[in-house]
Amino acid sequence: MATSTRTVRVFPFSQLLTHLVLIVGAFCMLYPLLWMIGSSFKPDSEIFTELSPIPRSLDLTNYIRGWVLGSGTSFATFYINSFVVCAGAIIGNLLSCSLAAYAFARIRFKLRGLWFAVMLGTLMLPFHVTVVPQYIIFNALGWTNTFLPLVVPKFFAVDAFFIFLMVQFIRGIPIELEQAAMVDGCNRFQIFTKIILPLLGPALVTTTIFTFIWTYNDFFSQLLYLSTEKHYTVSLGLRLFLDASGQSAWGPMFAMTTLSLVPVILVFAFFQRRLVEGIATTGLKG
């Protein structure tokens, strides 16, 4: 129990206390999830009338009804589509944002301040006022009803959020490493690939996790650009069950929503391990 660590020495009692606090907190965090899982086993006639999270039986009907839609398309298609879009977005963001971030963080070039302000500025305009002109561009390129509008821009670092994130992390890397490499004759690209990228681990992992989750959960842009069912992603698939003006299938919606959390939790669990390892094991020469 008393696993002492390198960094913080923890006594068993305080560790117990930490566990206690964390467990109480965890319950508050998890309650909604439990409620949703519970609802996914209930028939529609009980979901809104009986609010206890515990279902009467583990009835899998909702899962079976939800997985294959009336059209014959199954959620398997939506999962594949979501993964394709997410993979594209992740690769795009990792490549393009890290390049831009390195420039902003380390290279003194003309108008750097201006471009940095412009980059942050792109985060500040509400999405809804630029979405129509953006749609017109993608429509003119013939990209509507393809994954391209959701992926290609990521290869051009349109998610300024991640550039800024990486800038902050790169600025936390001791500059002496770079100066030493320069003395050894490395050019900027070599420094970037051999020093910065390996040390940027935590930021790259964070970028991966966030890009995956945000792309996976994104609704409005996928709704706009994907029009036919074979292109639909999970987040669009989930909305196929709900119609505010008529018939809705709540049970299957909750079942598929529950299921849709599995990949997100897996991705998070897998990558957060990398977060633990991070720089601590990389070793630094001061």
User: CB of residue 55 vs other proteins: minimum separation in angstroms?
Assistant: 15
Q: Which of residues 88-117 bind other proteins (CB under 8 A)?
A: 88, 92, 95-96, 99-100, 102-112, 114-115
Q: Which of residues 124-143 bind other proteins (CB under 8 A)?
A: 124-137, 139-141
State which of residues 121, 193, 194, 198 lies at the interface with other proteins (CB under 8 A): 121
Cα–Cα nearest to 267, from 218, 197, 215: 215
> Any idea how long the chain is?
286
User: CB of residue 94 vs other proteins: minimum separation in angstroms?
Assistant: 12
State which of residues 64, 174, 193, 194 lies at the interface with other proteins (CB under 8 A): 174
Our CB check for other proteins shows the closer of 25 and 60 to be 25
Residue 69 within binding range of other proteins, rule CB under 8 A? yes
Site string for other proteins, 28-47 (x = CB under 8 A): xxxxxx-xx--x----xxxx
Q: What is the C-alpha separation between 25 and 29, in angstroms, rounded? A: 6
- CB neighbour class for 283 (10 Å; exposed up to 12, middle 13-18, buried from 19): exposed
The 10 Å Cβ neighbour count of residue 74 is 13
User: CB of residue 58 vs other proteins: minimum separation in angstroms?
Assistant: 19
State which of residues 90, 165, 234, 255 lies at the interface with other proteins (CB under 8 A): 165
Residue 195 within binding range of other proteins, rule CB under 8 A? no
Residue 86 CB partners (closer than 8 Å, separation 6+): 211, 212, 215, 216
Our CB check for other proteins shows the closer of 58 and 111 to be 111
Pair 18, 5: CB distance under 8 Å: no
Residue with the two structure tokens 């996914």? 40
Map residue 74 onto helix, strand or coil.
strand
Residue 196 within binding range of other proteins, rule CB under 8 A? no
Our CB check for other proteins shows the closer of 3 and 58 to be 3
| Number of continuous H segments (helices) and E segments (strands) in the chain | 15, 0
Tokens linked to 122: 């792109």
Q: Which of residues 234-253 bind other proteins (CB under 8 A)?
A: 236, 239-250, 252-253
